[in-house]
Amino acid sequence: KQEVTQIPAALSVPEGENLVLNCSFTDSAIYNLQWFRQDPGKGLTSLLLIQSSQREQTSGRLNASLDKSSGRSTLYIAASQPGDSATYLCVVTGGGNKLTFGTGTQLKVEL
């Protein structure tokens, strides 16, 4: 059974700081890994999708890496802003179209 863990569970940083969110998964047989953000009371917004054959993806200030063999992914956020405050979810897609969601990291970027 796939398990996805995110560390840290919560993070508070001053504006402008670079930060890294971590995601680990127990079963390396995945199709892809996706990072989402969820704002309070709202739906999910897709940030980055990394296919199992890829090592990283970049979008603006965001960079996600994937090391499938070790079961790890990181989301790097450069020059953090208060608008980045949200819960970040790591999701892996495995066999049989099964999605497993991580436990989430609650990020707060302070002025």
Partner 1 sequence: SQTIHQWPATLVQPVGSPLSLECTVEGTSNPNLYWYRQAAGRGLQLLFYSVGIGQISSEVPQNLSASRPQDRQFILSSKKLLLSDSGFYLCAWSRLAGGSITDTQYFGPGTRLTVL
Question: 13 - beta bridge partners?
Answer: 109
42 binds partner 1 (CB under 8 A): yes
Nearer of residues 51 and 58 to partner 1, judged by Cβ = 51
Nearer of residues 69 and 97 to partner 1, judged by Cβ = 97
Q: Side-chain half-sphere of 100: how many Cα atoms within 13 Å?
A: 20
- Pick one of 18, 26, 51, 58: the residue that binds partner 1 (CB under 8 A): 51
89 binds partner 1 (CB under 8 A): yes
Q: Within 91-110, which residues bind partner 1 (CB under 8 A)?
A: 91, 93, 97-99, 101-104
State the CB neighbour count (10 A cutoff) for residue 76.
15
- Pick one of 23, 25, 36, 75: the residue that binds partner 1 (CB under 8 A): 36
Nearer of residues 21 and 80 to partner 1, judged by Cβ = 21
Residues in contact with partner 1 by the rule CB under 8 A: 31-32, 34, 36, 41-46, 49, 51, 89, 91, 93, 97-99, 101-104
